[in-house]
Amino acid sequence: MRRNLVTAAIIAVLAAPALYLLGLWAVVAEGLVLGWSFLAESTLVPNWLLALLTICAIIVAGIVGTALRPPRESAFPETSEPTDKDPAG
């Protein structure tokens, strides 16, 4: 997990000057403004309800993702602790 975070940070640090040198900051900024204006537009559904439904969807996605993950091996095989794959455990 930490390795992925470090890799993402390195990519971001390297991508920022490349975007500046290629003149793409305007495109990136325009995309961010477009995304923010889309999120800030008024809707017929109250924003508090949208926020609540978003939080519920994230929780459900986490539960489904956890249920679908493959079983993992024991962290300490010498202690003979049961794993999800162990039929006797």
Q: What percent of the chain has pLDDT over 70?
A: 80
Q: How many of the other CB atoms lie within 10 Å of CB of 78?
A: 6
Distances (CA, A) of 21 to 14, 16, 26, 81: 11, 9, 12, 55
pLDDT digits (tens, 9 = 90+) for 35-75: 888 878 888 988 889 889 999 999 999 999 999 987 766 55
Indicate the range of 8-12, 13-17, 30-34 predicted with least confidence.
Answer: 13-17
Flag whether the pTM goes above 0.75.
no
In terms of pLDDT, which residue wins out, 33 or 12? 33
